[in-house]
Chain A
Amino acid sequence: MKMPVPDRGVIDRKAAIVAGLRRIVPGAGVIDAPEELRAYECDALAAYRCPPLAVVLPSTTEEVSAVLRFLHGQGVPVVPRGSGTSLAGGALPTADSVILGVSRMTRVLEVDLADRIIRVESGRTNLSVSGAVEADGFFYAPDPSSQLACAIAGNVAMNSGGAHCLKYGVTTNNLLGVTMVLMDGTVVTLGGGHMDAGGLDLLGVVCGSEGQLGVVTEATLRILPKPEGARPVLIAFGSNEVAGACVSDIIRAGVLPVAIEFMDRPCIEACEAFAKAGYPDCEALLIVEVEGSEAEIDHQIGLIRQIAGRHAPLEFRESRSADEAARIWLGRKSAFGAMGRIADYICLDGTIPVSELPRVLAGIADLSAKYGLKVANVFHAGDGNMHPLILFDANDPADLDRAERLGADILTLCVQAGGCLTGEHGVGVEKRDLMGVQFAPADMEAQMAVKDVFDPSWLLNPAKVFPLDVSAARRRGADAA
């Protein structure tokens, strides 16, 4: 993976740039010591690392504005950062860039239960947003598996999803407003406590823009009343095809579960070995969770049982207690950890039409055999968001290269099946060079036109999302400035 050649002119001015930052953010809020910068050299895509020039951790929107105005004047690239859990390298720095982290901005600014909104500073973690309203019976719906660590800032930038978005939608569907700072220091407020834009839906394009349009400092989020109850069932099948068909039939029947999770045999075996959740020995299994009162849950599970019955399930396991429910989720929730125990892995994130599930899973199996690397599948089946995990050995550079090529082939397969490269993790640097598989030049040109408007000098997170050759002219323009 290539990154642009860092600007020597910027690196040579490090001392002056750091001094300038210190004038705005006093004390420990500016980091420039090499050993401390190492904590910021990568995000959760740990295969790629590069220490930044410096890190700045402002405490207020005003400080963010002053920092950006200063760095804009200095022509220094900026990489916004939340908690650094991106799986796409979205927060990967370059040697000539300053990381602007919002981790000190974690306050809850307002909770209005009657209006069902919460306004927070963007460095607050996803789970602690729900935590702030939990005692009142509310929650914030988008729930990435990383929710204990990841920040709302990163969620907004990546338009993150989670297991429950089949029913509740992803970040963009639960985001009502932001305060953000443009690269030149201008503070902009989009949306608020009301619904929908009066003019152009700028909030809609800011969400998912991967830190390339502005630094988000505050967010107004929709909170929802907690359901009366929720219960999962586990259904085991003899083949991926049958499990896929069952997913489609459940949706078709008008049941709208909150989650339908899918695991294939390699994944089930790894999870069993690790978590011992007592999963059945089968080719594929579904975990389907429904919500409501006891009677409503019984009714929906009854329907699901009927539908599953038409697909000759090997087992239909209901949970009779909170403990049994937890055991059903246990394997799924430990899937990533289990994989991490066996080998290093790359987690892909393509989405496909649900109807293509069997065909794409068969295609992945073929590719896995061709490259000689194991692939385990665990994913949000209700919305077709796949997470193939490619297992490899990170100590072997040739293996990483092979794993990346296999990943590219799998994502290409997803696009050919009518899907996309990434359903929730974002493009970052990881899928940057595959954008041409999904988009024609005019499609990318239209997207880059948006960046031209928000960040004319292309200083915000410039080497992400768009293939380097596609964005070259724009970034060079920035170098010349």
Chain B
Amino acid sequence: MLTPATEAEVADAVGSARGPLRIRGGGTRDPGRPGPGEVLSVAGLAGIELYEPGALTLVVRAGTALAEVEALLAAEGQRLPFEPPDLRGLLGTAGVSTIGGVLATNASGPRRVQAGAARDAALGVRFVDGAGRVVKNGGRVMKNVTGYDLVRLMAGSRGTLGVLTEVALKVLPAPPASAMLRLEGLAPADAVAAMAAALCSPFEVTGAAHLPGDGPDAGTLLRIEGFEDSVAYRAAQLSAVLRPWGEVVADREQARVAGAWARVRDAVPFHARQGDVWRVSLRASRAAEVLARVAGACDLNDWFMDWGGGLLWMCLPEGTDLRAHAGTFDGHATLVRASDATRARIAPVPPEAPAVAALSRALRARFDPRGLLNPGLMDAA
């Protein structure tokens, strides 16, 4: 395992590599196809470069622990807008999630629907490309259109275009209060309609999820955050909006609200379940239809919705190719949890249309001419 401690050492390690490398932050996520290569760990590149609460900006080295970042922000009453999931419980991984790994997988939780994804919060990056060259793009300021936006290209590129060494992020104030509204017993299509009504209201819903079943944790959940009085006001208004779908139960107890959304964020309902886990990004209004199609075609172990239905989590029997059963739809399906054998057979990263795949392939060949960085990890075939 290569364990560089500085950006220069990363550049050296990549530049002098003779064979494939597997780029690792904390090793808590399984972002794609398993493949060969010596592990290059970025965990040694840790530390806060700059944090300016008054400018909502944070610059950290890529190997910095997510938990450390979150603690630093919390101490100033701020947070990462995109609510990154902790996938350790789902994937059975140990270790420490890093900020570089979060951006490299564009890991975003329930608040994505209102505050954007990790890619939206990223202001700048530094990385080492496959030829060992250090590249910077973006910066630390909120608005920047100078040159091409490689920041977004790097977000979600899963270490296949370069090794992230530094990340600049926009942070947001953490509101003092929150509330959760809950509806019970809705069918999937009704849940999606109720969530759409909430998201189409002016009451700034920051989470909209639906967990099937009838336990205390199940139901259609809406979250509101903000200043105390504002949350109370909007919770009341939103309850009225949701009334046509049934009785609305409001919960203003901070810890319970946080816990419920952490369950959604980290896919807790699937932790103890056998089977492969898929994450399907799609148009919310098509979620019920796609769900029904998959359920009709194979043994759906479990499922739930986030992002108002725009994100469908599904747990399927091992080795089942969801894409073969979901039909065509506006969106894509990612295999999040499966055995190495399954992930070697079924591409975890969704296949692209031929013209798009050709562009992606050509970009990889330019950024990583020797094919050293996580080779095959994002390949569809």
The residues of A with any CB-CB pair to B shorter than 8 Å are 112-117, 137-138, 158-159, 161, 165-166, 169-170, 172-173, 182, 186-190, 192-205, 207-209, 225-228, 248-249, 251-256, 292-293, 295-296, 299-300, 351-355, 380, 382-385, 418-427, 431, 435, 438-440, 442-447, 449-454, 465
Contact check, B141 vs A225: say whether CB atoms are below 8 A apart.
no
Known: A201-B106, A207-B149, A447-B148. A352 touches B141 (CB 8 A): yes
Contact check, B359 vs A453: say whether CB atoms are below 8 A apart.
yes
Contact size class for B?
35 or more
Contact check, A188 vs B355: say whether CB atoms are below 8 A apart.
yes
23 cross-chain CB contacts under 8 A: A112-B283, A115-B285, A137-B200, A169-B116, A186-B355, A192-B283, A195-B117, A195-B310, A198-B349, A207-B152, A248-B55, A251-B56, A254-B176, A256-B172, A296-B230, A296-B233, A351-B144, A352-B141, A355-B52, A427-B146, A438-B147, A443-B135, A450-B153
Neighbour of A380 across the interface among B113, B143, B202, CB < 8 A:
B143
User: In the complex, what's the smallest C-beta–C-beta distance from A469 to chain B, in angstroms?
Assistant: 16
User: In the complex, what's the smallest C-beta–C-beta distance from B256 to chain A, in angstroms?
Assistant: 23
Contact check, B284 vs A196: say whether CB atoms are below 8 A apart.
no
> Which 4 A/B pairs are nearest by Cβ-Cβ distance?
A204-B152, A254-B173, A198-B332, A198-B350
Contact check, A114 vs B148: say whether CB atoms are below 8 A apart.
no
With A and B bound together, what is the CA distance between A397 and B355 in angstroms?
48
Does chain A have a CB within 8 A of B97?
no
Binary contact track B210-252/A, C-beta < 8 Å → 1, others 0: 0000000000000000110110010001000000000000000
Neighbour of A161 across the interface among B143, B174, B227, CB < 8 A:
B143
With A and B bound together, what is the CA distance between A336 and B148 in angstroms?
28
Which of chain B's residues 317-374 have a Cβ closer than 8 Å to chain A? 330-334, 349-350, 352-353, 355-357, 359-360, 362-363, 366-367
Known: A199-B352, A256-B173. A422 touches B378 (CB 8 A): no
User: In the complex, what's the smallest C-beta–C-beta distance from A197 to chain B, in angstroms?
Assistant: 6
Contact check, A248 vs B137: say whether CB atoms are below 8 A apart.
no
Which residues of chain B have C-beta atoms less than 8 A from A293's C-beta? Answer: 230, 233, 237
Which residues of chain A have C-beta atoms less than 8 A from B200's C-beta? Answer: 113-114, 116, 137-138, 225
Neighbour of B281 across the interface among A195, A225, A296, A420, CB < 8 A:
A195
User: In the complex, what's the smallest C-beta–C-beta distance from A323 to chain B, in angstroms?
Assistant: 23
Which of chain B's residues 124-138 have a Cβ closer than 8 Å to chain A? 129, 133-137
Residue of A nearest to B195 (CB): A114
Residue of A nearest to B197 (CB): A114
Which residues of chain A have C-beta atoms less than 8 A from B307's C-beta? Answer: 195
With A and B bound together, what is the CA distance between A432 and B363 in angstroms?
24
Count of CB-CB pairs between chains A and B under 8 Å: 267
Contact check, B148 vs A450: say whether CB atoms are below 8 A apart.
yes
With A and B bound together, what is the CA distance between A202 and B117 in angstroms?
15
Residue of B nearest to A205 (CB): B153
Known: A198-B352, A292-B230, A296-B233. A114 touches B284 (CB 8 A): yes
Residue of A nearest to B142 (CB): A383
With A and B bound together, what is the CA distance between A196 and B106 in angstroms?
9
Known: A200-B363, A450-B150. A353 touches B140 (CB 8 A): yes
With A and B bound together, what is the CA distance between A16 and B146 in angstroms?
37
Residue of A nearest to B116 (CB): A173
Which residues of chain B have C-beta atoms less than 8 A from A450's C-beta? Answer: 148, 150, 153, 363, 366
Contact check, B145 vs A423: say whether CB atoms are below 8 A apart.
yes
Contact check, B112 vs A446: say whether CB atoms are below 8 A apart.
no
Residue of A nearest to B307 (CB): A195
Contact check, A194 vs B155: say whether CB atoms are below 8 A apart.
no
In the complex, besides A196-B106, A435-B146, 5 extra interface pairs with C-beta distance below 8 angstroms are A204-B152, A204-B155, A248-B54, A449-B366, A454-B359
With A and B bound together, what is the CA distance between A368 and B236 in angstroms?
54
With A and B bound together, what is the CA distance between A114 and B226 in angstroms?
24
Contact check, A189 vs B353: say whether CB atoms are below 8 A apart.
yes
Contact check, A384 vs B139: say whether CB atoms are below 8 A apart.
no
Does chain A have a CB within 8 A of B38?
no
With A and B bound together, what is the CA distance between A451 and B56 in angstroms?
32
Residue of A nearest to B174 (CB): A254
With A and B bound together, what is the CA distance between A371 and B310 in angstroms?
55
Which of chain B's residues 163-183 have a Cβ closer than 8 Å to chain A? 172-176
Residue of B nearest to A435 (CB): B147
With A and B bound together, what is the CA distance between A292 and B149 in angstroms?
33
With A and B bound together, what is the CA distance between A227 and B201 in angstroms?
9
Contact check, B360 vs A199: say whether CB atoms are below 8 A apart.
yes
User: In the complex, what's the smallest C-beta–C-beta distance from A422 to chain B, in angstroms?
Assistant: 5
Neighbour of B285 across the interface among A112, A207, A383, A454, CB < 8 A:
A112
Contact check, B52 vs A353: say whether CB atoms are below 8 A apart.
yes
Does chain A have a CB within 8 A of B156?
yes
Does chain A have a CB within 8 A of B17?
no
Contact check, A227 vs B55: say whether CB atoms are below 8 A apart.
no
Contact check, B146 vs A201: say whether CB atoms are below 8 A apart.
no
Residue of A nearest to B118 (CB): A196
Residue of A nearest to B52 (CB): A355
Neighbour of B331 across the interface among A161, A190, A192, A451, CB < 8 A:
A192
User: In the complex, what's the smallest C-beta–C-beta distance from A384 to chain B, in angstroms?
Assistant: 5
Does chain A have a CB within 8 A of B157?
yes
With A and B bound together, what is the CA distance between A444 and B146 in angstroms?
11
Contact check, A194 vs B156: say whether CB atoms are below 8 A apart.
no
Contact check, B143 vs A383: say whether CB atoms are below 8 A apart.
yes
Residue from A253, A444, A453 whose CB has the most chain B CB atoms within 10 Å: A453
Contact check, A204 vs B139: say whether CB atoms are below 8 A apart.
no
Does chain A have a CB within 8 A of B199?
yes
Which residues of chain B have C-beta atoms less than 8 A from A451's C-beta? Answer: 148
Contact check, A200 vs B285: say whether CB atoms are below 8 A apart.
no
With A and B bound together, what is the CA distance between A338 and B161 in angstroms?
48
User: In the complex, what's the smallest C-beta–C-beta distance from A216 to chain B, in angstroms?
Assistant: 15
Contact check, A201 vs B119: say whether CB atoms are below 8 A apart.
yes
Which of chain B's residues 283-308 have a Cβ closer than 8 Å to chain A? 283-285, 307
Which residues of chain A have C-beta atoms less than 8 A from B282's C-beta? Answer: 194
With A and B bound together, what is the CA distance between A351 and B57 in angstroms?
14
With A and B bound together, what is the CA distance between A384 and B141 in angstroms?
7
Residue of A nearest to B114 (CB): A224
Contact check, A295 vs B153: say whether CB atoms are below 8 A apart.
no
Contact check, A200 vs B149: say whether CB atoms are below 8 A apart.
no
Which residues of chain B have C-beta atoms less than 8 A from A199's C-beta? Answer: 156, 349-350, 352, 356-357, 360, 378
Contact check, A423 vs B144: say whether CB atoms are below 8 A apart.
yes
Known: A353-B57, A355-B52, A420-B141. A442 touches B133 (CB 8 A): yes
Contact check, A194 vs B310: say whether CB atoms are below 8 A apart.
yes
User: In the complex, what's the smallest C-beta–C-beta distance from A424 to chain B, in angstroms?
Assistant: 6
Which residues of chain A have C-beta atoms less than 8 A from B113's C-beta? Answer: 195
With A and B bound together, what is the CA distance between A293 and B227 in angstroms?
13
Contact check, B146 vs A431: say whether CB atoms are below 8 A apart.
yes
With A and B bound together, what is the CA distance between A454 and B175 in angstroms?
43
